[in-house]
Amino acid sequence: MANEAIGLRPMLFHVDACWNTDQAVGSIAKLVDSLGLDLLADVVNWEAVKPMQVDVLRAGVPDQDLVLNAKDKEDVAATAS
């Protein structure tokens, strides 16, 4: 692999937004194990994110994986009205 040839140490980063399926978790584990890479997983605080997720779903936003800050959340709410 390129990391061995040029001395890179890549790391995988996964944001767990509390929607992971068992299949997704298994796929991530296989990737980490087969490539021998480190994994950093950040699990979001579901109770903090839940109201925003509900707003995004109600607004009909096609890509819910967008990172929204407070101003963006207000823009989404205004567009949905």
Q: Which two tokens stand for residue 16?
A: 């767990």
Task: Encode pLDDT of 10-69 as tens digits.
Answer: 889 998 888 889 999 999 999 999 988 899 999 989 898 889 888 888 988 777 665 555
Residue 56: predicted pLDDT: 83
**Alpha carbon of residue 19 to chain centroid:** 9
> Max alpha carbon distance in the chain (Å)?
55
Residue with tokens 């509390």: 18
pLDDT exceeds cutoff 80 at 74? no
The predicted structure's pLDDT at residue 66: 58
